[in-house]
Structure 1
């Protein structure tokens, strides 16, 4: 055995405690689980840079084994992590409105920006300006296991690892040919997912080298919300009634002194609002997805003790989001009184509202020449859904490549080195189709005949928005729409040098020597967002949710680090083993901005393990971690987008009875003549204005983990790990929640409130007085990024495994659970310290998804000679509507009366939507070894076809609260069947 092989072998044996959490694998497939040193080479140990045959890392690591991935027949990495206890559902295939074409992981519910995703212990290029790795690019065909490390890991992996790391560990020294094909479909006959992967690898030059190459393809079909009974109609969470968007058809118009009225196409008059638009049928529960990916890696021993290795990956994937048709979303429009499509009765109503006499109104109606003295126009905010255009579709095409090259080997018999460099690029191009262009819409409304526009622009056809569905003729559409593109390109260049080994000395009371690792690292990040003129212009794309500004930035980081593991005592009474672990990392950042000076950080860790007897090991770790501001947080220009709010205190009649409240609403930009007629936010959405801040500095986090590992000899095959974790983030980079901003102004309205700083963080619609509308004129809430936030969370992780060999079969039992005691978020010194574990609202949590107090996965697998039968139980604890938000809604809804008189709170939040009971899902998998080289797996997900909870569409963040439920947390597709085949040679 060469020196390199010895070095690699020692790495393999250090999995130790990690192996306790490996999900049970079927009997006939044992050769696919974590193997011994002699047949696998390097096994990356997540959580430490030290490789040692006997010493294990102090920090707990939970593991999802390759066989668990196979039994679930998971198609993307995000699907694997979504159900992991302790993680919170993030952006993935179940997110439609808010999906930017990528998938992410969110550990501990602290946001997808606060963890690091690794491939074999190394960073890969991010997929966006926020520095997050797109999980759609992970090569699942070669993934052997997925490690998740709890708590901070910045000392080992650098900034961003505040909540921990997720490390995808690939199979090493693969030899042979393997073909995997699978197909999945729902019981309803939709949502088809097809996947195929082919892998080939082998050893060469008498075992000195190994090379492996994998190629894969995947295609997923859309599942529309109209195809499920609980999501066909958009339901208002605040009255429980079918109610959709205020941007509807027939159109609505703002009328001075009368608020917003809707046209009655049968009579041609403006009447009180009577119809909204049901947008649910256009949205999807499963986004269409197509992926081509390639992955290759190789290693070769060029000399005794010296090995060169390389890894390359390429992926091209397309994610399509499909949402309801575009339209005019509360934008200001100028219309001639002589517009040929303007009904006479509507014209007369606008004449009266704008103070025109009957004679002047008639003269204006007849004046078709703009130079005529009688020619007049009126301005109104229009809400009109362009159903004739079809749905809005955004195709996100992401292309990524990432290449790594390194050399490793032995310096002495006990000291090794590893030097590697890597470079990666990711490009995500969004093509938006079906959007109504506001500048051309204004052009087409400025017409006095049915054939030409007053501008004389080529292709402009006068537009009819005054009728019902179909009044916009096909010949009017081409001029009003055009494709728009936004491209995001990110790069990562990195170099790392590591020396590890032992000092050759040991404690007088221990056998193993003191281990060390020292090294240096350089990383250079770059990200650029380039948008065409349509996407850059605020309010130009009807319903795009805000402009996509150009962004260009980057930063460099130089780091030096060291780790130490010292066995102090072994094989002594009450000290089967005692070891200490410590580490430190110094980082120097240089940001590409003249007004943002460089900054430096120091992270460290200290901990240890104590096994009083062989059966029991106690462990603990304290860490200081940091998260540097990402490129998006530093360089994004101030822009107006969308957020969620169901109840606006300025809406309805409340301001008429409260002079102080009315003064606040007017000071925020509401027209005085609209007070008393302001509508509640359309679709529960309002505008929000925010942007980057080059003066941001790194977040700091203190975390500690205390736990135990129990392997009783009296119960062979049983193991248990239990760990308490506590994370506190200071100087967190955050913006205030919607409720923070609203409460600061409206909780106690006094005579001086109209001029207070808190009440000036608003920019209301100058025509309607609402907080929604054209982002070019309506800022909505103003929320600035700062380092003023504080975030805390704590909880307990529990893992149990049991394996027993019967005469006829092998039984494997696994349990992986999490209890989160608390997760609090305070955006500023004056904000509420908001508890969000077990609650849902527009303010919870940091990602907008649901975080239950208790969740677990438990699997029982019975393995016969050629057949495995496996049963998985997934549990999600019950959750409730956030009490603080409920109180805020009560205060805002002054004078709200339940028409049925049964429950005075029913006009706040529908009583049936204030709580979601606990949910239990059961999955069944069976695998049959047809031959030595061929096996087939059948999986039924959501075996009992559990329907998702219905809570309406306006109770939470639009990203996660869609189709009247939370489809990322709860299964909205229903029972699904999958069949997969694997051939190996």
Structure 2
């Protein structure tokens, strides 16, 4: 088996350390028994230290995706390189549609996309969002040599945000020659086509003193609609019934639906199936350029630079927009309503018959008989077509630095980097509320009372599809915003050996690294008037107000790694420590540190451990986002339906929260399983802190050549976590649990004295938790009161078996999560979410975190042909959250069995310069589980399943051709 060796990271300003003798990143062809036994133990280059001595070994465990894995899996974007690693929970990616921000994100250990760092050659990348999240779509996949993931905290090495760890994309170094590759993939159903092509050129010059390389790439991913898959063609409620959105057609007024056959309002209504319009795979088009150069001016002085530019366009698609239960001022002289509708509206508002008739005959708003009544309207604007959102990101970053030997023992590295990202959001087919309100005030079928702006009246009645194209053109105005971020980093470090001799006679010298860093972050969100106004763009939930902010940080850091014993009464022992002091302009000073070591009683068995204190300073969104009202997931409202009128305590709570007394008994259920939620930034937030430790072993027995086993226990506790309450944290303390059904809830143990009751504000017209800007819904403020704890074990086994035809290699990675607990505040539920799913668990974790996860690969390397690889991914069975109320949920939705997926790939070495790779993914066309579209949060639980955890595309095929010369 070949060994991975220390690689200089091209233009990387931070040198990489050497890990323990651990599992190789990928299995290689076995070269025969004798050669394998004679070779040195396999090693991995890891992220996690600035100390550069290749003889020193760090104590932090690492997950590695190597070059062979990257090539044979035919990944088209960076998120695919990480998502199947045990311990990595899917973040926002191309399977998230409703709730996506148009970017792909990493979520380590399920602690959130904002609690890890994504690095490129060990350096920070300009974030793409106001929450300091790096968009994985900007990573130049064609140049990635390997990906190294260190979990459990790395703030002492890389600074804040690395609470859960880091993912470092290490690029190919000193590339020479040319490489052209193209990948084409498609699903068995004939949709979801993926295409990626890259051209990379590199050359050395001046007798090898310099190198320059450039890579140009293009990627295009076609969409897959939920309507084109059986599981998602119909929306299911948690009780198993086919129930879509209450914003439907024909029009509903104050909860009753218009009957076009009779011209009256009836108390029952049909729901709207919104799923078929949504994407299971969001379309993406990306163009990227990456260039790097380095030149050795003289001994001890090497200049280097690199730069990247990415333009990515992501599209989202939702069901048609509509009037989603807001309160409208409805004129009683509207020319499109019948006398029966007018009489119903008058009765709802206590208007006598004579006044009602006179209002209906009024000619315009100046008529003294003119009357408008507050009316809740639900109407799906199908005539307008599906809602579409396009995110266009333009990102660039440049690096420049100098490095070299300071002395015979020490190296230096000084660099600066600057990057900017602009992410433009453009919404079409959504509609503007103010213009719909203007169009409702009509003198006749063709004339608005206020004809400015080219107003055309809107007909919400008729047969349910009578909104004219002229009216749509009036109120269907585009809206959007631009999120801009910038990052400046200046870093200087010295690393190497402290002395020529080791400690206490050890042959390996002491390794050190010291340095200083300055970072400056800036961000802004600039919205047009429509997008920045609360409740103006129909169907958007929260507005996107304009705001800006920034902060800077000055840091000093140091590391030391001391070999204590070598080849004595034990084989080896090493200790290490690191310290970083940070001074933030927004939160002041903070200190992070690490201490650890490893001991090898005899060659082939090593124990390792490390303890770390990490911090995360609040990001710009958490500090400065204005308070706005958006949406949260809630299947049923305790105040809805008839039962509330039979329970005096429950009734009093509903009224105290703003529900009119007359609405009790008829408050409608949440629209499409969503309710209003009000939250925003908090400028008084402080840093959150994490304490983590890992304890593990590495076993490479000499009596079983080519076998490597690693196992590491991890424990991470985040205190003073920046969190907001979940919906359950607000609903349950106030109302208790539901003893009825989801359609007809019966909350029999409400507690009016609970402070949580004061965090709910209802629609003043009908008492619901839906409506316009006068309905705050659930109040979910950000605080430093949260606590997060996760612990478990990562294990990996690799083994290479030589054969007559080449070799068989096996690589098995296992993650066991013992616990992942989240408590938003001391009074909130301390919920356990490992192996469980619900709205509240999704609110924190995002995707499902199974108790067990396995990723195994068997590869047959065939001399003269190439390789055949079979990968098995296993997801442990999960269940509905134990702390949540299961009443009214279909039994089949309360658990998901374990899932196995198999991928088969084959690489054929056509010639010395060309190879072809063929792949079949989800080999047995495994269908995803059906748990309804209302059991989790909207972003993650979509199309009746969890599309980022379970494969929703079905069997698909891919082929890659690569030419090198």
Q: Same fold (TM over 0.5)?
A: yes
Once residues 144 and 917 of structure 1 are traced to their aligned partners in structure 2, the CA distance between those partners, rounded to angstroms, is 36
Structure 1 residue 448, shift from structure 2 partner: 2.6
Match of 2:156? 155
| Alignment pair present for 1:783 and 2:780 | yes
Structure 1 residue 693, shift from structure 2 partner: 0.7
Once residues 652 and 814 of structure 1 are traced to their aligned partners in structure 2, the CA distance between those partners, rounded to angstroms, is 56
Report if aligned partners of 1:262, 1:270 keep a CA contact under 8 Å in 2.
yes
Match of 2:135? 134
Show the 5 A alignment for 1:431-510. 431-504=426-499, 505-510=501-506
TM-score (norm 1): 0.93
**Secondary structure of residue in 2 paired with 1:152:** coil
Where structure 2 has 5 or more consecutive residues not aligned to the other structure, the ranges are 1-5, 32-38, 738-746
| Alignment pair present for 1:511 and 2:510 | no
Match of 1:858? 856
Match of 2:936? 956
Report if aligned partners of 1:336, 1:448 keep a CA contact under 8 Å in 2.
no
| Alignment pair present for 1:935 and 2:931 | no
**Secondary structure of residue in 1 paired with 2:20:** helix
TM-score (norm 2): 0.95
Match of 2:879? 880
Match of 2:398? 403
Q: Structure 1 residues 699, 496: CA separation in 2 closer, same or farther (over 3 Å shift)? A: same
Q: Structure 1 residues 221, 750: CA separation in 2 closer, same or farther (over 3 Å shift)? A: closer
Once residues 576 and 468 of structure 1 are traced to their aligned partners in structure 2, the CA distance between those partners, rounded to angstroms, is 84
Q: Structure 1 residues 312, 543: CA separation in 2 closer, same or farther (over 3 Å shift)? A: same
**Secondary structure of residue in 2 paired with 1:883:** coil
Structure 1 residue 345, shift from structure 2 partner: 1.5
Once residues 601 and 50 of structure 1 are traced to their aligned partners in structure 2, the CA distance between those partners, rounded to angstroms, is 23
Show the 5 A alignment for 1:364-383. 364-383=359-378
Show the 5 A alignment for 1:633-644. 633-644=622-633
| Alignment pair present for 1:796 and 2:785 | no
Q: Deviations over 1:144-171 (max 9, x none)?
A: 1000102010000000111110000011
Q: Structure 1 residues 868, 351: CA separation in 2 closer, same or farther (over 3 Å shift)? A: same
**Secondary structure of residue in 2 paired with 1:872:** strand
Match of 1:812? 809
Match of 2:205? 204
Q: Deviations over 1:428-475 (max 9, x none)?
A: 000011112110111000113011111132411111112344210112
Once residues 751 and 151 of structure 1 are traced to their aligned partners in structure 2, the CA distance between those partners, rounded to angstroms, is 41
Report if aligned partners of 2:9, 2:121 keep a CA contact under 8 Å in 1.
no
Report if aligned partners of 1:58, 1:620 keep a CA contact under 8 Å in 2.
yes
Structure 1 residue 25, shift from structure 2 partner: 4.6
Match of 1:903? none
Once residues 160 and 432 of structure 1 are traced to their aligned partners in structure 2, the CA distance between those partners, rounded to angstroms, is 32
Report if aligned partners of 2:736, 2:748 keep a CA contact under 8 Å in 1.
no
**Secondary structure of residue in 2 paired with 1:197:** strand
Structure 1 residue 371, shift from structure 2 partner: 2.8
**Secondary structure of residue in 2 paired with 1:332:** strand
Once residues 13 and 528 of structure 2 are traced to their aligned partners in structure 1, the CA distance between those partners, rounded to angstroms, is 54
Q: Deviations over 1:367-424 (max 9, x none)?
A: 2233333322222010111000001111000010011111111111111101111000
Once residues 203 and 56 of structure 1 are traced to their aligned partners in structure 2, the CA distance between those partners, rounded to angstroms, is 32
Match of 1:868? 867
Show the 5 A alignment for 1:268-283. 268-283=263-278
Q: Deviations over 1:516-540 (max 9, x none)?
A: 1110000001110111100011111
Report if aligned partners of 1:667, 1:755 keep a CA contact under 8 Å in 2.
no
Show the 5 A alignment for 1:261-660. 261-504=256-499, 505-573=501-569, 575-591=570-586, 598-660=587-649
Structure 1 residue 773, shift from structure 2 partner: 1.9
Match of 1:905? none
**Secondary structure of residue in 2 paired with 1:683:** coil
Is 950-959 or 754-763 further displaced after alignment?
754-763
| Alignment pair present for 1:911 and 2:907 | no
Q: In the alignment, which of 944, 948, 960 is matched to residue 924 of structure 2? A: 944
**Secondary structure of residue in 2 paired with 1:884:** coil
Once residues 926 and 361 of structure 1 are traced to their aligned partners in structure 2, the CA distance between those partners, rounded to angstroms, is 76
Q: Structure 1 residues 805, 752: CA separation in 2 closer, same or farther (over 3 Å shift)? A: closer
Q: Deviations over 1:687-744 (max 9, x none)?
A: 1100111111110110000000010111111101100000000000000111011122
Report if aligned partners of 2:14, 2:123 keep a CA contact under 8 Å in 1.
no
Q: Deviations over 1:89-118 (max 9, x none)?
A: 110000001111111000000101000110
Match of 2:827? 830
| Alignment pair present for 1:983 and 2:934 | no
| Alignment pair present for 1:72 and 2:67 | no
**Secondary structure of residue in 2 paired with 1:535:** coil
Structure 1 residue 509, shift from structure 2 partner: 4.0
Once residues 843 and 512 of structure 1 are traced to their aligned partners in structure 2, the CA distance between those partners, rounded to angstroms, is 51
Q: In the alignment, which of 838, 843, 848 is matched to residue 841 of structure 1? A: 838
Structure 1 residue 11, shift from structure 2 partner: 10
Report if aligned partners of 2:918, 2:960 keep a CA contact under 8 Å in 1.
yes
**Secondary structure of residue in 2 paired with 1:141:** helix
Structure 1 residue 328, shift from structure 2 partner: 0.7
| Alignment pair present for 1:49 and 2:50 | yes
Report if aligned partners of 1:44, 1:120 keep a CA contact under 8 Å in 2.
no
Once residues 632 and 10 of structure 1 are traced to their aligned partners in structure 2, the CA distance between those partners, rounded to angstroms, is 29
Match of 1:146? 147
Is 842-851 or 783-792 further displaced after alignment?
842-851
Structure 1 residue 351, shift from structure 2 partner: 2.2
Once residues 332 and 612 of structure 1 are traced to their aligned partners in structure 2, the CA distance between those partners, rounded to angstroms, is 74
| Alignment pair present for 1:716 and 2:711 | no
**Secondary structure of residue in 2 paired with 1:80:** helix
| Alignment pair present for 1:242 and 2:222 | no
Match of 1:124? 125
**Secondary structure of residue in 1 paired with 2:444:** coil
Match of 1:167? 168
**Secondary structure of residue in 1 paired with 2:778:** strand
